[in-house]
Structure 1
């Protein structure tokens, strides 16, 4: 996962958190998080990169709609990233004001 951009990593996390999301569902989730519009020209090439890297699979729901799921490798990469982050960030945020 070290070779992914932050945007690609966020795509991976969103796909992990949803059940077989289609591209527009992923886009909606990221637009809410980033608080700005995600253009198709940014979204779909990055999804294709994750497919090419073997981190997600792309299926076809109908002629116009694809859906995305994590591969086993994608799940392993997320778990490894979480472990790595835990070695550096193990902070309780209880009681901290927003």
Structure 2
């Protein structure tokens, strides 16, 4: 399981995925079908996400049945940035077609 903050044209989103990488080709393709064609992503520890989102995390994870799936945990940029310090974020991953 991976968790990542994706900074997109409409603001940050926090997603969970069972893909092995935030730059997985199929994941990037799924994001593109949702209108996210370029982004800067930061992987964040799943344990940190569990701690910060608690019950909401468990509800979202209950829906994550398919092997190669993704779920948006949070799409409120203000909330995401309030929950994560910029110092917590790792190296950025850039995607632009």
TM-score in terms of structure 1 length:
0.30
Q: Whose strand proportion is higher, 1 or 2?
A: 2
Structure number with greater Rg is 1
By relative contact order (CA 8 Å, sep 6+), the higher-ranking structure is 2
